[in-house]
Structure 1
């Protein structure tokens, strides 16, 4: 990216000027006018830093002056690095001096007197080089940069990615056309591809986001967003889709075949909507493989593709999959070819960025519309210029923006026009943000970034200076659109900083140990792309915003350690895409909203250590997709709703530590259960009759029981039994012999039962291939016992040096 070298030179010059200003010069260092050299060099570096803005602009304008200025910047950067090396040597020498005696120093290689002579001489030579570079800057006619006086203490301007504003302007017709195509159930294609085609900056991604957030498309069983980018990677695309469809699938070390198999399983008989954002790939075979991977959805599934290249769409129309009409783009007349915005729409976009609802716009409308003409109809440019103009809101500054001409050396006409307009935003960017901006050129679009880590890197490089938290948050508004925002261990704010509302493409919000967080602002509901919200150890959080109901794309909500959270908003029922809800260690929470019955996509619900939770919503049985239900350590909970018998998809039920809970007879209707865990019920010491009909059970976990009934022999599908903390259980039922599918039996902390299994009941369990008794492997009929964990075996091996290797293995016994 042009200008990175200039920004690096600027950063080094700035850092060196700062170090020279902080340098403490002692009397002993005053050799060869060392102090005078340092003071003189400091002034010259400050003067050179002031002309860096003009030097950067000349480089970008190109021509002979640009080439000469580029060489000048390279010389300046080289000398600045040399000066910094000398200053680092001074710091190192100071440390050595403070830790060694004077006599030892004199006779060592760190002789300070000789060293000072060398450093002073080097500094003198460097000062002469700086003098020469300063004279060259005068020949180049580089002038000091005087920033405009802004209505703020600092000038902020940046190029924001598409979608940084809430809502769209000028694309309503295109949006309605896409919605119509998505709702069309009479398409000839089994799965249709809807292409959005246009140059960069026209708002393709913004349009797709607006469609994705529209409630009318809730008809799809699965809705996914995949950012593709220039670096097309079929495996990563597949993994991304699998992860979003089913987070329980382990993708570690997965290959393409595994991912394709999982996609076939997960997408089969499901009507999906997948958005492939920023697709560049043109190779026909690669795109054919992409279509093969996505061909398993139900009829009526749709794929929205955003691309800058119409050739991509044309290639998608070819190949076997397309000719069989399994996956094929819609008719050419239905392509969404984005054009530029009208002048009026551009000005509306800019005004939204520049003015508040009550700001005075008088005297600025005419010149503002003239600047809007320079946007070329590009929303991206309109947003960028609007940001610049909001920070320089006066006629004089706006006239300069209107008249500024920036020349770029690009061959493609549309590239030159676009970048020339965007350069206006860069021209007025504060110097330290130019450095940060050019640093980001090393990262691809769509890169997920940890803001604190970037800020630390910028500080380490000398691009920015450490300031108070408010300034740190404010810098974030000048970064490209974020997809993940994470805060670990923070204090000082009682609510989220307003800057976060800029991140309208945010998908993951992760807050951990935010000590002072009490409430969320209502504008949080504007972040409609959020898919994952996690809040852990926010001890002062009192409530969630009512606008939570806007998160129709939210898939996971995790609330943990929110000690004073008392109520959840009724609007939670609008979270129709929610797959996983975890509420843990929220002792003040007493009720769950009745509207939860609308979470029909919910697959997993965990209620853990919610000491104040009493009744559960009666509509719990309407969660038709629920597969896993865990209720642990909720001591005030007395009963489960009768509607629980309607959870026909429930596969795993965990009930633990709920002292007052009565296990209701409705459990006998949960015939789809594969795993049940019951423990920590003082009043429940036997397996309830209501579980008698659960003949499809494969895993059984029981704790605190006195016995097992004979009818357990009816559980013919049972593969694993776990019995623990049951000191009063004395034997297993005779019918356990009938459990021919039983492969594993684990018993812990049940001394009387374990003795019986090793003796009288040994024959009854001899058909079970794996038996663990108090962490020891037990094989009926054999005296051999061993640890369950092979690592606990006491094995020693001794190898001799003879050609014939000998080994001595100690007896395998538990240590």
Structure 2
């Protein structure tokens, strides 16, 4: 189920190539023709990447093509980053006199003759591989797409307005709160719009159905409409759906003006309730166009909008969004028992079975869809003999695999709709979080610095601040309910957050194999691994990992969590030799986290990591940085907290 997102990377490479052209560095190195051809080839492939990314879930051939292409595109990214580094180094030398600069250039590793030969060969090799991929796009029937196409890869089933009140558990308090808003007669607005926001599977549709069918609501409103919006927010189509919901069959040939007149006549002076279920549209102009057709109703008319996006809530709501929270433990357990146990057995189970069941329910995080899915599976198993085994062996995998026992209507496909609607720049930011363990509290400032180091953040104006744009990315993900448990400072800025377990399962399920988190992971690090987080440390682990680590020549990220209680494993095996091995072998590193590593002295070999953007040396015992640090021209973040710590 892993997804490959390359369009943003290709866009970044083309941006760097354009920058190199502006500095006329191509002519100096004598690689102008090669770079122009590389740029043309990559542009041709980039034109079909968005279509390929959209089709990969349905086409095995496209999926394999993207997997193979990924390695070459990342190689091209590293290559162009090499060129950008040399361009930056050259510009920094501009302050020297001409003779000194010529001598330094000749005797450096960037001797123009050697550099041109080496880079020319690499550029031709990468371009040749990309050309081969470009030739395959016709066979795969890939089309050119301009801009983002936030279309879900799996359309949601159309919802309807009815649910039996007996089937809904745990939403009594929420129902009372919404009914107070719906039945309020003091509000004299013609139409009030109430957004209901929650993550996928939180029960927004079921909750809206419960309210829609309430007896008080039936009596209070003259008209009621239910429309499932989902992906296609076409105003004309939605107006037709609303009219049809009122048992009026609209003429499909009528123009928008005529349809609007029919709708306005239908609701004229009447107090109505409209539910717009599963809204994704974040375009204010489209929303305003629909809203203008709804303003002719009687005073007290209400529109409920269900959505996963707080952006949608802000655009549509005339009232504060109602956040549909996770269910508490007691209500979650009640829902689980109702489904998982035979009728009449809910209150007659042993304390042991009850304890196992509650542990399973806790792992569902109060998400009704997860509870119903897992409870449905367990209803077919014997509680006394199979629940415990399921808990220990199967549950941790059930949300991460495409196992036959999970149907198309279950958890991950439902949550994945949220991911499918993200622009590509945010998809890679979300997937990156799979490196961290579940329930990990992330510092937002550090997370943005990580995104910067990976070149995930794109700026359209050179004067833009990367950190500010990155924080904007984070807020977009917050608005779309990808993060939770936020902490804010006195100014209201989010400083820390966590990811819901189910969202983390989603991230892991779509993460490509290049990501590696060592936390009970028995899979080996290999030549294609590019991002690693170590979450366990001991002497034997260090001995096991280091040899395979230094063979992963294309590694970009080495992280360890901010946990000072862990044993500094580099100290055990010898810090100097370990660091030299890393710096001499992993020359493409962009992030290196060595906090709490027992360093007494920073080795000079660190200066060879010219791609490095992020270096954390906090909580170590050295007192002086070596001069080689000044050669890290790409370095964006250097952390030196408590550097006399030992």
TM-score > 0.5 by shorter chain: no
More helix by share: 2
Max Rg structure: 1
When the two structures are superposed, what TM-score results if normalisation uses the length of structure 1?
0.29
User: Which one scores higher on RCO, CA 8 angstroms, separation ≥ 6?
Assistant: 2
When the two structures are superposed, what TM-score results if normalisation uses the length of structure 2?
0.37
